[in-house]
Amino acid sequence: MVVDEDIDVFDLRDVLWAMCSRVDPVESVEIIRRAWSGPLDPAIPRDKKGFSSRMIIDACRPYEWFKDFPPAIEVSPEQKEAALKKWQKELFGR
């Protein structure tokens, strides 16, 4: 998966957010067939070892309208803390 610089690749929520908000399946996904694979790949049947497919997902803002793409909404730590404090019981039952 390829993402823009505003996405923290070590934060699964950020990556999933990019995938859900910036990917058009028809335009953003490429499948590479018969890519080389090692013999330890558990997803390949024993009689077909050596090759498998790969998928590349482009979860970047569309280049054609990069400047017009809506900015990501950010919540300050103070806003997040206030919301969690207010809604903790409803959200988490505590």
Output the tens digit of pLDDT for each of the chain's 94 residues. Answer: 999 998 999 999 999 999 999 999 999 999 999 888 888 888 788 777 788 889 999 999 988 887 888 887 788 889 989 998 999 888 887 6
Domain borders along the chain are 2-92
- Spell out the residues 6+ positions from residue 14 whose beta carbon is closer than 8 angstroms to its own: 3, 7, 8
Residue 52: the pLDDT is 84
Strand residue runs (E) in the chain: 2-3, 29-36, 51-59
Q: Which CATH number applies to 2-92? A: 3.40.1670.10
Please state the pTM of the whole predicted model: 0.67
